[in-house]
């Protein structure tokens, strides 16, 4: 990890502290990290299923209504 020159010392220290916390969690509760991420709409992506059954078609949730009057 190589930060840019514009990062402040405080930002770098906060990032280092976060990495230390993650390392501590990995030592004490490795299963917690194996199931990460926890607070996203999609948890861990199944790479094998995505490779075997690719879904590359986008389906809109709502079809836009075109204004043809005029």
pTM above 0.85, yes or no: no
| Under 8 Å between Cβ of 12 and 3 | yes
pLDDT at 69: 56
Structure confidence by residue, pLDDT tens digits, 41-69: 776 778 899 899 988 888 887 766 666 65
Mean pLDDT of the chain: 84
Classify each residue of 5-38 as buried b or exposed e, where b means 16 or more C-beta atoms within 10 Å of its C-beta.
eeeeeeeeeeeeeeeeeeeeeeeeeeeeeeeeee
Nearest to residue 19, comparing CAs of 43, 40, 39, 1?
Answer: 1
| Under 8 Å between Cβ of 37 and 44 | yes
């Amino acid at each position: 990890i190589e930060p840019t020159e514009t990062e402040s010392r405080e930002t770098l220290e906060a990032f280092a502290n976060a990495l230390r916390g993650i390392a501590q969690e990995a030592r004490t509760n490795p299963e917690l990290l194996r199931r990460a991420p926890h607070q996203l709409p999609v948890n861990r992506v199944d790479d094998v299923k995505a490779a075997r059954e690719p879904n590359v078609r986008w389906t809109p949730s709502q079809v836009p209504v075109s204004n043809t009057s005029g």
